[in-house]
Chain A
Amino acid sequence: MLLVIAWKNIWRNKVRSLIVMVSVMMGLWAGAFILAYVFGMINQRLEDAIGSEISHLQLHHPEFGVDYDPQFYLDNSQSIIEDIEASPMVDAVSGRVLVYGMVASPSTSTGGKLIGIDPEREDQVTQLASNVVEGEYLRTKDRYKIIVGKKLADKLKLKIRSKVVLTFQDVDGNIVAGAFRVKGIFRSYNSSLEDGNLYVNQNDMSALLKTNGQVHEIAVLMQSGETVNEYVSTLANRHPKALVESWKQLSPELGLMIDSLDQYMIIFFVIILLALSFGIVNTMLMTVLERVKEIGMLMAIGMNKIRLFGMIFWETIFMVLIAAPLGLLLAYINIHWLSIHGLDLSAIYQEGYAAYGFKPIIYPKLEAIYYYRIMILVIITAIVASIYPAITALRLDPVKAIRKI
């Protein structure tokens, strides 16, 4: 009986009910959206920061980092790469032959980090191909072609098809040299990469360095940033001879910043939750206020307080039950769409990173469990928010209440 009255009440004043329901829907949507956005952002920030250089984790010979001596390559590196690639947690993996050497053009010469790559794998890990602004990216069958940064190209006065000579020490300490033709010029937001990194095909480099097809560095991009630490220890166990380091170990400054930002996102999230709760509470308060006269009337005609409280309570429950699935659906559709198309923030960026081929696009993502959590949170907020006004209503003096305009 009470339930029927509550149900009918909802539709008696459609505008009022709609407001309550919409504010619950909004709350649900906002909560789910912000949470999805936070997750997407953390992921994106990590990818932006580590994407073009560090990757999620790297493997080296333990001695390699000391002085970048090329003789310290990873034994069995091809089988390590295959092993890593087989893991379902891994998105992409790239092996690199590395040596510090000289790069010379007719006009001048300078030092650089010479990187022998497998073009396809490297592109999967660092999106190198999309940073090539002039000429073309390397292909696996290219012989003695090189990709250089814009700044280096300017310094050495290089154009597409220019010849450069790379000189470095091989694993035995002999000085070796090779001539390479510029195939592409890349840009990077980080000018030191543009200045110092040169990319050539791994086979060419390997032959000159005599590393027997082994590599010095293996960079791994994970499916998700959350599994990095777990996978670092897995890899350390599986390949005890290699030094496995996560991006945080490789660049603690970056780790510090990203971790701090992630934590402070949580503060933001709490503030947003507060805002949505207050929105609902306020709307509920106003609703009861509007019904003072009606409630006074019901009390005057002898409805007891418990039943009255129950009625208001059930009204709230019904409204939330109608609004919650709708809100969830709205949030789901919205988040799902954005998770595919992304939320492009480039218009808000102050500086022109987009010029370097960087698109600050965030892909919000939310696992099912979080939808439920947000829903429960919002329902509890709505119910709690309805209790106070209901109690207030019960304290009303029926006579005064009726007289109220």
Chain B
Amino acid sequence: MISFRSIFINSMTLLTLMVAPCAYAQDAKEIIRKADEKRRGDVATASMTISIIRPSWSRDMSIKSWSKGTEYSLILVTSPARDKGTVFLKRDNEIWNWIPSIERSIKLPPSMMMQSWMGSDFTNDDLIKESSIVEDYTHSIVGDSIIMEREVHKIELIPKPDTPVVWGKIYSWIDKKEYIELRSELYDEDGYLVNEVKFLEIKPLGGRMLPSIMEYIPADEEGHKTVIKYHEVDYNARHGLDFFSLQNMKRVR
């Protein structure tokens, strides 16, 4: 598996990217706000497959995730067999790891929390997500085009000074009608493309029309790609705080 962190990221990214299908265009900020709205959503469960693709090898893993806001989340690895049943729990700034093969749950110490996560194409920026796509950037509509037969706004996001964001700018393409993000490009401060994110195969997920595949492609590393494929999403799940507990880690299926 990529690592516990990237899994959090994935689940968070998922929430970030699920966008509300309503209303009509106002200004750029409003469009982004609407696209981002569901990130603030309460509880969601999802199942997905993450594929790490490298020039010489690739791996797939399946996970199920539950989350409540950004404070609580629980992730269960369902395949490959070697990792099956492994659970990560994020709660109160702590990360716990349950490993069925040795029947132990372990709290990851602070020095480990920030270790780099190998194998994945995500940047650290994805991990924290404390930065708000709405508040930390200034937005402007810079054009429109058509992606996957949909009319989209091209929106430029420039980080406000001193925000903890590494990008120089981001272009985001958002469906004009349903506020679905279909693509984004992340640039460094010299204007070079660093990463590209593609959203594919829009279909009903959790009662909404959403892209079910997200491809994360670093620009300068040939053959590297991370693909997340969503199978199911449920926005109506109701889980209390006791769901995100150490006891539940051992039980969750």
**Do A and B bind?**
yes
Question: Which A residues are closer than 8 A to B by beta carbons?
Answer: 67-70, 100-111, 144, 162-169, 172-179
**A100–B114 CB distance below 8 A:** yes
In the bound complex, CA of A166 to CA of B189 (Å): 17
Chain A neighbourhood of B131, CB < 8 A:
177
CA distance A101 to B195 in the complex (A): 23
Shortest CB-to-CB span from A227 to chain B, Å, is: 34
Q: Which residues of B, 128-187, contact A by the 8 Å Cβ criterion?
A: 128, 130-131, 162-168, 186-187
Chain A residues whose C-beta falls within 8 Å of the C-beta of B194 in the assembled complex: 106-107
With CB as the reference atom, state the residue of chain A lying closest to B194: A106
Q: Can you name 19 A-B residue pairings with CB atoms under 8 Å?
A: A100-B110, A101-B114, A104-B124, A105-B188, A106-B168, A106-B186, A106-B194, A107-B220, A111-B115, A163-B168, A165-B165, A167-B164, A169-B93, A169-B113, A169-B114, A175-B93, A179-B163, A179-B164, A179-B165
Contacts of B220 in A (CB 8 A): 107
Interface residues of B (CB under 8 A from A): 92-94, 109-111, 113-116, 123-125, 127-128, 130-131, 162-168, 186-189, 192, 194-195, 220
Complex partner residue of B130 from A68, A162, A163, A176, CB under 8 angstroms? A176
From A108, A111, A177, contact of B128 by CB (8 A): A177
**A-B pairs with the 6 shortest C-beta distances?**
A177-B164, A106-B188, A173-B93, A104-B124, A109-B124, A106-B194
Contact A111 B110 (CB under 8 A): no
A163 adjacent to B189 (CB under 8 Å): yes
Q: Knowing A111-B115, A177-B130, say if A70 contacts B110 (CB, 8 Å).
A: yes
The residue of chain A having its C-beta at the shortest distance from the C-beta of B195 within the complex is A106
Q: What separation, in Å, do the CA atoms of A257 and B161 have in the docked complex?
A: 49
B113 nearest CB across to chain A (Å): 6
**Residue numbers in A under 8 Å from B93 (CB-CB):** 169, 172-175
Most buried by A among B114, B123, B165, B168: B114
Task: Supply 15 further A-B pairs (C-beta < 8 A) apart from A67-B111, A106-B188, A176-B130.
Answer: A67-B110, A68-B110, A69-B111, A102-B116, A104-B123, A104-B124, A106-B168, A108-B123, A165-B125, A165-B165, A167-B114, A167-B124, A167-B128, A174-B93, A178-B164
Q: Is the CB of B110 within 8 A of A179?
A: no
Please name all residues of chain A whose beta carbon is closer than 8 Å to the beta carbon of B111 when the two chains form the complex: 67-69, 100
**Taking chain B's interface residues, is the majority helix, strand, or loop, or is none over half, making it mixed?**
loop
Chain B residues near A70: list those with CB within 8 A: 110
Which of chain A's residues have a CB closer than 8 A to the CB of B114? 100-102, 111, 167-169
Measured CA separation A69–B93 after assembly (Å): 14
Closest residue on chain B to residue A180 by CB atoms: B164
> What's the nearest-Cβ distance from chain A to residue B174, in Å?
22
Contacts of A173 in B (CB 8 A): 92-94, 110
Complex-state Cα separation, A172 to B113, whole angstroms: 13
Give chain B nearest CB distance to A277 CB in angstroms: 59
Residue in B closest to A172 when the chains form the complex, CB atoms: B93
Of all chain B residues, the one with the shortest Cβ separation from A174 is: B93
Residues of B within 8 A of A162 (CB): 189
On whether the beta carbons of B130 and A69 are closer than 8 Å, the reply is: no
A364 to chain B, nearest CB (A): 44
Min CB gap B97→A, angstroms: 16
Q: Which residues of A contact B94 (CB under 8 A)?
A: 173
Question: A359 to chain B: closest CB distance in Å?
Answer: 36
The answer to whether B110 touches A164, judged by C-beta atoms less than 8 angstroms apart, is: no
Given A106-B187, A167-B114, A169-B110: A175 touches B167 (CB 8 Å cut-off): no
Q: A109 to B128, alpha carbons, bound, how many Å?
A: 13
In the complex, chain A residues whose CB is within 8 Å of the CB of B195:
106
In the bound assembly, the distance between CA atoms of A176 and B186 in angstroms comes to 22
CB-based nearest A residue for B94 = A173
Shortest Cβ gap from A148 to chain B (Å): 14
A111 to B162, CA, bound (A): 21
